[in-house]
């Protein structure tokens, strides 16, 4: 299990995400829609349309 540093926030992104996007595409999605820095050290969780896959950024 990977331990996270103290103070790390885990963000669950509501809705579904196109899982064909790479990590650069997900990072640009976070910058454009959430107006957050994807490299802030927080964990962002994206889920696929069927709900059987997730990606962590």
pLDDT of 51 reads 83
Whether the predicted pLDDT of 1 surpasses 80: no
Which tokens in the block code for residue 39? 């490299």
* pLDDT digits 0-9 by tens, 2-57: 788 888 888 888 888 888 888 888 888 888 877 778 788 888 899 988 888 899 88
CA distance 1 to 50: 26
pLDDT of 12 reads 86
CA distance 30 to 42: 12
pTM of the model: 0.74
């Amino acid at each position: 299990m990977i331990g996270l540093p103290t103070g790390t926030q885990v963000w669950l992104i509501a809705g579904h995400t196109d899982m064909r996007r790479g990590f650069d595409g997900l990072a640009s999605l976070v910058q454009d829609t959430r107006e957050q820095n994807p490299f802030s050290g927080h964990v962002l969780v994206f889920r696929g349309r069927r709900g059987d896959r997730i990606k962590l950024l």
